[in-house]
């Protein structure tokens, strides 16, 4: 039985320093109150993912650009990735991932109150991919919106969904991370084309009065001054599509990989510390750390900066490469199915991406 908001008293006032962990110093971003007031819990009731059938290996990429399996493996940890067929779009993968998450949760699409889809490669600029998904799923009661936060998209979407549940506004929220990056990839640019891939993951969040379970903390950050380190210049109102914009290859993703690498490590480490502090947990309490899968070296450097053992870090980058907003939720679903997330376990998801954006969530199972 789900209690109403008034029956659940907020959890405020405990000493935030009691669960202090090794802190990565970083100025600014003090907008999140700590500890967070909590009303209803947002419990993860089900997860699912879907990826395209077509596998593109490092050997395949050797045929496209001047690269090698050795370089890609050593510099990124990636071995293969999934690539959509020409006629496939984001909602195709979002639909199957959502159906699997709903089946896992044991609920029907009609029970969903809100759909939040994180993507920067939706089916089209509008209507939103969440509206397309709402229709295709038959989630006729649900409100629907997209969240654009690059590779941090799923974290932003989950944190957003949690707020609607915490306040009692909605009981059941479907959160999706989906990208079809292959459609905005410049297949002549070896600096990006070896990294990017397609896929979708979904989670069903449900309201619960059990404050020991669910999303126990979230943290979001952004630095818009670094927007042009990772962006797609054309296709919006600044540079609408034209013959020139296509000829100048402005409808492809552009990235300053080196600059992003350093920020990624520091911001993901910071995000782990922020959510631990907000949840009054220690690093030892984390059963599994699920970082954004952009580069194995970024993941390893983040773990090293935190003093966190790689045995408790989930990595599936070798199979799916960088699916942007889908990486953490695909990884969470795989980790659950591999038996690496059990009742009572604390899982922390962290990501960074275009914007620049970053953030984390801590979930107790
Ligand atoms: O999802 C969020 C956004 N993206 C990221 O998180 C990506 C973050 N950045 C990275 O993962 C890495 O910076 C990259 C994987 C993109 C690049 O790795 P790196 O170790 O930083 O390499 P680099 O850019 O410093 O390039 C080293 C060399 C260069 O050659 P020279 O100048 O030393 O002769 C590149 O031209 O490697 C060359 N190179 C390649 N060689 C073979 C760059 N891409 C490739 C390639 N194959 N695909």
Determine contact, residues 179/51, Cβ cutoff 8 Å.
no
Q: What's the pLDDT at 16?
A: 38
Low-confidence ranges of the chain (pLDDT < 50): 1-22, 30
Ligand 1, atom 1: closest residue by C-alpha: 294
CATH code, residues 215-364: 3.40.47.10
Q: What's the pLDDT at 20?
A: 41
Determine contact, residues 250/243, Cβ cutoff 8 Å.
no
In this structure, whether the domain defined by 41-211 belongs to CATH 3.40.47.10 is answered with yes
Q: Which atom of ligand 1 is nearest to the CA of 195?
A: 15
Distance 136 CA to ligand 1 centre (A): 39
Domain limits, CATH 3.40.47.10, in the chain? 41-211, 215-364
pTM of the model: 0.90
Q: How far is CA 160 from CA 136, 153, 165, 303, in A?
A: 23, 10, 9, 26
Distance 179 CA to ligand 1 centre (A): 22
- Which of 151, 189, 257, 299 best tests ligand 1's pocket when mutated (most atoms within 8 Å of CB)? 257
Catalytic residue set: 151, 292, 322
Q: What's the pLDDT at 36?
A: 55
Q: Which atom of ligand 1 is nearest to the CA of 258?
A: 13
Distance 288 CA to ligand 1 centre (A): 28
Distance 261 CA to ligand 1 centre (A): 10
Q: What's the pLDDT at 21?
A: 42
Q: What is the CA radius of gyration of the chain?
A: 20
Q: What's the pLDDT at 211?
A: 86
């Amino acid at each position: 039985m789900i209690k109403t908001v008034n029956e659940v008293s907020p959890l405020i006032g405990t000493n935030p320093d009691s669960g202090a962990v090794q802190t990565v110093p970083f100025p600014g971003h003090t907008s999140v109150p700590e500890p967070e007031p909590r009303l209803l819990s947002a419990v993860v009731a089900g997860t699912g993912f879907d990826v395209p059938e077509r596998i593109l290996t490092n050997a395949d990429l050797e045929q496209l650009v001047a690269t090698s399996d050795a370089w890609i493996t050593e510099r990124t940890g990636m071995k293969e990735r999934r690539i959509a067929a020409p006629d496939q779009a984001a909602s195709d993968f979002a639909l199957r991932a959502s159906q699997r998450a709903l089946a896992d949760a044991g609920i029907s699409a009609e029970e969903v109150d809100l759909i939040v889809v994180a993507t920067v490669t939706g089916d089209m600029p509008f209507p939103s991919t969440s509206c397309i998904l709402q229709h295709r799923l038959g989630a006729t009661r649900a409100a629907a919106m997209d969240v654009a936060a690059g590779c941090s998209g799923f974290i932003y979407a989950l944190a957003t969904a949690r707020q609607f549940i915490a306040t009692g506004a909605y009981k059941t929220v479907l959160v999706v991370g989906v990208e079809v990056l292959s459609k905005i990839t410049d297949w002549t640019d070896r600096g990006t084309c070896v990294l990017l891939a397609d896929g979708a993951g979904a989670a069903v969040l449900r309201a619960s009065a059990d404050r020991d379970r669910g999303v126990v903390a979230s943290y979001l950050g952004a630095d818009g001054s670094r927007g042009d380190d990772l962006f797609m210049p054309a296709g919006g109102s600044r540079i609408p599509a034209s013959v020139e914009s296509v000829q100048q290859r402005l409808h492809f993703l552009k990235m300053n990989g080196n600059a992003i690498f350093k920020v990624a490590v520091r911001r993901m480490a910071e995000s782990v510390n922020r959510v631990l502090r907000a949840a009054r947990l220690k690093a030892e309490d984390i059963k599994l750390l699920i970082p954004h899968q952009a580069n194995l070296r970024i993941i390893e450097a983040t773990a090293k900066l935190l003093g966190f053992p790689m045995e408790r870090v989930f990595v599936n980058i070798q199979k799916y490469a960088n699916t942007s907003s889908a990486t953490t939720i695909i990884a969470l679903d795989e980790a659950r199915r591999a038996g690496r997330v059990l009742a009572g376990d604390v899982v922390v998801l962290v990501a960074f991406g275009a914007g620049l954006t970053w953030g984390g969530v801590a979930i107790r199972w």
